[in-house]
Amino acid sequence: MASIVNEKPVVIITGCSVGGIGHELARAFANKGCSVAATARSMKAMADFEHDPRFFLQELDVISDKSVESVVSNVVEKFGRIDILVNNAGVQCVGPLAEIPLSQVQNTFNTNVFGPMRMIQAVVPHMAERRSGKVVNIGSIGALAPGPWGGTYNASKAAVHSLTDSLRFELNLLGIQVTNVVPGVIRSNIGPSAANNYKTMPDWKLYKDFKDLIQKRVEFIATTKATPADVFAQDTVAVVLKEKSPAWYSSGNYSTIMAIMYHLPIFVKDFLIGRAMHAHK
């Protein structure tokens, strides 16, 4: 990993829209002297970076093979290499699994799971040539102790955790480090995004008597006590830029208690989550 330690690291980050974790990660990497390729679905979403020479801005849609290939090619052409890939882009999805439209489930997995896979398959060959690089996947504490109404999102993040564990072994053989970053509750635009997405959901039939509880799940994402995104980003970047990055890093509000919940017996976990989410019959 000498190239990352001794040279100015080149970092590509997905999902850098203002107000989100990716935006603050981009700023934190730049503040540490990195060359940052910041990406988002809309250039307008990164307007405050436009005149900052530390950022190479690219419009990227992680659900498009063509978009991913084009952006990665542009970054390699400009900098000659990619040292760190941060798969941060993601979407929320709230609703009961028995009724949520499959199109919403597919979009969530296409963004949260296949999006990182597209980026990995496009970036890793460039890292493998130099036998150097780091892949950072952003997971979620929601995958550690899933509750009601958030099953689609939590399952997508659980898939990311599992893929990351496999990648750690596979990419190590190519000289590439892999880190699973698991944010706690972080203050970001994911709350308003979840609320906007929920407005597109149909009226529930089987769960019409629970619509207020489901709505509260949406509101919880936006209103619960959260760690500032810039604080989380600074701490995360400091860890990622170490010569030897950890396999797992979790930070932010609720991260400790959710890690504990993960190891509890299922009946205890079900009782605690059900009571907290008012989901007991």
Q: Supply the residues annotated as catalytic.
A: 153, 157
Write down the pLDDT at residue 5. 43
More confident position, 269 or 165 = 165
Find the largest Cα–Cα distance for the chain. Answer: 60
Write down the pLDDT at residue 281. 62
- Would you say residue 91 has pLDDT above 80? yes
| Digit-coded pLDDT (tens) for 102-137 | 999 999 999 999 999 999 999 999 999 999 999 999
How does residue 70 score in pLDDT terms, banded at 50, 70 and 90? Answer: very high
What secondary structure does DSSP assign to the chain, as a single string? -HHHHHS--EEEES---TTSHHHHHHHHHHHTT-EEEEEES-GGGGGGGTT-TTEEEEE--TT-HHHHHHHHHHHHHHHS---EEEE-------S-TTTS-HHHHHHHHIIIIIHHHHHHHHHHHHHHHHT--EEEEE--GGGTS--TT-HHHHHHHHHHHHHHHHHHHHHHTTT-EEEEEEE-BEESTHHHHHHHHHTTSPPPSTTGGGHHHHHHHHHHHHHS--EEHHHHHHHHHHHHTSSS--SEEEESBTHHHHHHHHTS-HHHHHHHHHHHTT---
The tokens describing 162, both together, are: 């599992």
Q: Are 251 and 228 in contact (CB under 8 A)?
A: no
Per the prediction, the chain carries an average pLDDT of 93
Cα(235)–Cα(273) distance, integer angstroms: 29
Backbone angles phi, psi at 248, to 5 degrees: -140, 135
Mean pLDDT computed over 5-14: 85
In a 13 Å sphere around the CA of 84, the CA atoms on its Cβ side amount to: 32
More confident position, 190 or 39 = 39
Which residue ranges form the domains of the chain, and what is each CATH number? 2-254 (3.40.50.720)
Choose the weakest-confidence range: 12-26, 242-256, 259-273.
259-273
Q: Are 22 and 28 in contact (CB under 8 A)?
A: no
Mean pLDDT computed over 238-244: 97
Choose the weakest-confidence range: 78-92, 113-127, 208-222.
208-222
